[in-house]
């Protein structure tokens, strides 16, 4: 189960929502050029949850910035519904590792702030914000300032803010990166609840192989810098996905393949394996 190429998915939906073609990005600073992304091509189906995992510096955030139009490629193109992205797109929600909440606004006003820019009627926006807060267990915290929230609560609020206007596309760059393991688990459940039935297309960047597999329809594995796709896995585990799915052999097969791909490329190094007996040797009377 689980491993096949994207062709099977594309056969079902020949018109991709997003097409990334030969995308490269180099940054020039004084006399140095950094090649962040190297001729990357892939597509997203509408409503697909797509994760990108890969080592630090392989161009994951750069990819997100290019898809959002916040930065422009050196070569190649991003097209959304056939339209080339040439400037920042507006029909999108973005969540970064830092929640970027406005400290002087109550939680609910932070959430409705985004929609207000988009000229959505205030009462509709507020109703939706109340619904979202309820879905993530933050109803009681609607009228407090962000400094009264825990890290996990703040990040939940920032996800609510990103989706309150129901954008067709949600871009998340290590949104749970600053949270402890238990809170991350809760966030993974919450994100599924929040997106249920909305048909949102999601790009999710993470360093966690397990989180990527738990949440995604498909995982793109990036190699060492400059970033390019070195593997791609379809995750066809049934939804909704509970945390216990991580204990199944099907789940382990997919995470195992990603891990070994990263090991093959030297991104993950198991030093115990290269020094047989180093950890478990009983030599020397231990
Ligand atoms: N604005 C910029 N100017 C110059 N170099 C940049 C800029 N943004 C990113 N880079 C460089 O491009 C490369 C890719 O960076 P990027 O932030 O996309 O990596 P990443 O995969 O998101 O890493 P991480 O997992 O650590 O967040 C890095 O070498 C980085 O230093
Ligand atoms: Mg990054």
CA 236 to centroid of ligand 1, rounded, Å: 31
Residues 6+ apart with CB under 8 A from 56: 207
Specify the pLDDT at position 29.
86
Range of weakest confidence among 24-38, 81-95, 202-216, 270-284: 270-284
Specify the pLDDT at position 12.
56
**Which of 31, 60, 222 is the best mutation target for the ligand 1 pocket, counting ligand atoms within 8 Å of the beta carbon and taking the most?**
60
Specify the pLDDT at position 114.
76
Whether the CB of 208 sits within 6 Å of ligand 1: no
Instruction: Please say whether the beta carbons of 43 and 77 come within 8 A.
Output: no
Give the largest Cα separation in the chain, rounded.
75
Closest ligand to C-alpha of residue 60 is 1
Domains of the chain in start order, with CATH, are 1-8+15-91+198-240+262-267 (3.40.50.300)
- Residue 218, strand partner residues: 50, 234
CA 79 to centroid of ligand 1, rounded, Å: 22
- Model confidence at 167: pLDDT above 50: yes
| Calpha distance 63→251 (Å, rounded) | 27
Nearest alpha carbon, ligand 1 atom 20? 57
**Which of 36, 56, 67, 211 is the best mutation target for the ligand 1 pocket, counting ligand atoms within 8 Å of the beta carbon and taking the most?**
36
Q: What is the pLDDT of residues 96-134, one digit of tens each?
A: 989 899 999 999 999 998 777 778 888 999 999 999 999
How large is the average pLDDT for residues 63-89?
Answer: 96
| Average pLDDT value for the chain | 89
Specify the pLDDT at position 78.
98
Closest Cα partner for 95 from 207, 252, 206, 21?
206
CA 250 to centroid of ligand 1, rounded, Å: 33
Nearest alpha carbon, ligand 1 atom 27? 56
Q: What is the pLDDT of residues 232-278, one digit of tens each?
A: 999 999 999 999 999 999 999 999 999 999 998 888 777 766 555 54
Nearest alpha carbon, ligand 1 atom 28? 57
Residue 79 or residue 270, greater confidence? 79
pTM over 0.75: yes
Specify the pLDDT at position 11.
54
- Model confidence at 47: pLDDT above 60: yes
How large is the average pLDDT for residues 211-225?
Answer: 95
* Percent of the residues in the chain that have a pLDDT greater than 70, as a whole number: 90
Specify the pLDDT at position 55.
92
CA distances from 151 to 71, 208, 232 (A): 29, 18, 32
Quote the tokens at residue 167: 């954008």
CA distances from 194 to 79, 132, 286 (A): 26, 7, 52
**Structure confidence at residue 281 as a pLDDT band (50, 70, 90):** very low
Specify the pLDDT at position 284.
39
Q: What is the pLDDT of residues 17-39, one digit of tens each?
A: 999 999 999 999 888 999 999 99
Specify the pLDDT at position 265.
86
């Amino acid at each position: 189960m689980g491993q096949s190429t994207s062709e099977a998915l594309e056969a079902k939906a020949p018109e991709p929502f997003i097409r990334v073609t030969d995308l490269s990005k180099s940054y020039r600073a004084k006399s140095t050029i950094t090649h962040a992304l190297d001729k990357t091509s892939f597509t997203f189906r509408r409503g697909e949850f797509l994760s990108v995992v890969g080592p630090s510096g392989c161009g994951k955030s750069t990819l997100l910035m290019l898809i959002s139009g916040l930065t422009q490629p050196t070569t190649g193109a991003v097209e959304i519904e056939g339209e080339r992205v040439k400037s920042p797109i507006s029909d999108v929600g973005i969540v970064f590792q830092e929640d970027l909440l406005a400290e002087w606004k109550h939680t609910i006003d932070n959430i409705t702030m985004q929609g207000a820019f988009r000229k959505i009627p205030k009462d509709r926006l507020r109703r939706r914000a109340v619904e979202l807060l309820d879905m993530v267990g933050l109803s009681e915290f609607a009228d407090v300032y962000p400094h009264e929230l825990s890290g996990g609560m703040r990040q939940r609020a920032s996800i609510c803010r990103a989706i309150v206007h129901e954008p067709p596309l949600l871009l998340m760059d290590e949104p749970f990166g600053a949270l402890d393991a238990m809170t991350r688990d809760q966030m993974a459940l919450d994100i599924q609840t929040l997106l249920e039935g909305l048909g949102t297309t999601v790009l999710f960047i993470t360093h966690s192989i397990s989180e990527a597999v738990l949440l995604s329809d498909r995982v793109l594995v990036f190699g060492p810098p400059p970033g390019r796709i070195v593997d791609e896995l379809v995750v066809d585990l049934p939804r909704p996905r509970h945390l216990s799915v991580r204990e199944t052999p099907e789940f382990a097969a997919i995470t195992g393949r990603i891990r070994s791909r990263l090991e093959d490329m030297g991104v993950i190094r198991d030093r115990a394996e290269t020094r047989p007996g180093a950890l478990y040797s009983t030599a020397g009377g231990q």
